[in-house]
Structure 1
Amino acid sequence: MDRRLGMDPDTVTVLWCTTDGGERQKARTLLLRNAADVLGVPKSEIWVEHEPGGRPFLGGAGAGVRVSVAHTRGALAIALTGGAQVGVDVEGVRRLRAESMARAWLHPAEAAWISGLPEQERSVAFLWLWTQKEAVGKALGQGLRGGGMSRRMPAEEHWPPGPHAGSAPRPLPGFDGLVSCAALVNDGRHVIGVALHGDAAHGSDAGGVGVQVRRISGTPA
């Protein structure tokens, strides 16, 4: 098995950075740069294409590496793995009407969980779930269509989350081959959600798949 970064089917590598604008173009450039580094090939041998639904994939020497890209104002994230289909999402932490938004859009059990938290924790908890839902939609290649917002994410036994930059994804209740997790980065200023879909995601609750989250330079080389 090829154990290079991003080619290991048991590892998802998430690279993120803060930006001062131009997130969409920077995300594409950084994806190509880091995929080339992973594979040890020139950037000219890799390019980005898109499926009809919009999900990106790598052509050329990057074929076979699963990727996902996300960006929000002031930050971006890219995910690479050699295993299952992957999705990533990033959101800036900000004050939201989290309780009412959760009642309107989320699974009832998730809405109840958010309502039971201290008020100052509810916005980040909502984004913790939101980013995972967005990531799952990307891993499935369908976005949030078909009730994606109400799809229940793994329950959080310990809250608030610790400062760990990465964890083992856990299964979504009632969905085989779908796992997700989230991480707080940038001193809690951003949340990154990650999801996997496919055979390589099975057994993730037993530690079969790990997520490594690492900050990179936001200046494309």
Structure 2
Amino acid sequence: MHSTLHTTPRPDDGPVTVVWGEMPPGTERDATHAALLHAAADLTGAPVHRIRLDHGPGGRPRLTGPASGLRVSVSHTRGAGAVALSRHRPVGVDIETVRPFAAGPLARRWLDEASADWVARSPRSARVRAFLWLWTQKEAIGKARGHGLGAGGLTQPLPLPADTLPGPTGRLRTLPDDPRTACAVLPTGSRRHVLALAVGDV
């Protein structure tokens, strides 16, 4: 994995590190886990062989050894993966591959009414990306909170754009109903994937 992004929720918190990359289909899980261990070694200065990936309740990833204090999140999709690491804040990351699907009906089935209406108003050519713009942020928020898309994650309100789909600015925005949680769609330089980050307790 080759692209490293940094974003800062607050000036005194230190950066959140996000590493993402593309890889051959079928290798995503192993490549993403390896990237997490190497990123943790870079942040801590510890040898990578001393760091292990474990899972807590609900399958949430956690690191042991010298990197045990880091807050981490992992995501992979067909042909790509991403990890997020923070010294101070709970983090969630989600990456999805852009591919054809019925975005409007899926939004009506899975998302809250305001989100589904926004997807439906999007130009037909942008509906898949609009759906993934919402979906990845909701998934990342759920991971930062420790429950994934359960516990109302799909109906989590997001600050919706007024009209057109925004570009991936990477600017963290707090949630309308929870000013302690912020999320963003991050720029990757690739239109094949949508990558979102959420940070808790900001």
- The 2-side partners of 1:158 and 1:128 are apart by 14
Give matches, 1:56-95, under 5 Å. Answer: 56-95=61-100
Deviates more, 1:109-118 or 1:127-136: 109-118
- The 2-side partners of 1:73 and 1:81 are apart by 25
SS of aligned partner of 1:76: strand
- Which segments of 5 or more consecutive residues in structure 1 lack a partner in the other structure? 202-221
- The 2-side partners of 1:56 and 1:189 are apart by 26
Task: Give the letter aligned to residue 101 of structure 2.
Answer: L
- The 1-side partners of 2:199 and 2:46 are apart by 26
Equivalent pair of 1:132/1:180 in contact (CA under 8 Å): yes
Structure number with higher relative contact order (C-alpha < 8 Å, ≥ 6 residues apart): 1
Give matches, 1:39-54, under 5 Å. Answer: 39-54=44-59
Question: Offset at 1:71?
Answer: 0.3
Deviating above 6 A after TM superposition, structure 1's stretches of 4 or more consecutive aligned residues are 5-8
Residue of 13, 27, 40 corresponding to 1:35: 40
Question: Offset at 1:128?
Answer: 0.6
TM-score w.r.t. the length of structure 2 is: 0.87
Q: Deviations over 1:175-214 (max 9, x none)?
A: 242211113534211001111112xx1xxxxxxxxxxxxx
Aligned alpha-carbon RMSD (Å): 2.0
Identity of aligned residues (%): 44
TM-score w.r.t. the length of structure 1 is: 0.80
Question: Offset at 1:6?
Answer: 9.6
- Which segments of 5 or more consecutive residues in structure 2 lack a partner in the other structure? 1-5
- The 2-side partners of 1:118 and 1:77 are apart by 28
Question: Offset at 1:77?
Answer: 0.3
Count matched residues: 193
Q: Deviations over 1:133-186 (max 9, x none)?
A: 11111111111112211111222247333365xx22111121242211113534
- The 2-side partners of 1:75 and 1:38 are apart by 22
Question: Offset at 1:44?
Answer: 2.1
Deviates more, 1:144-153 or 1:7-16: 7-16
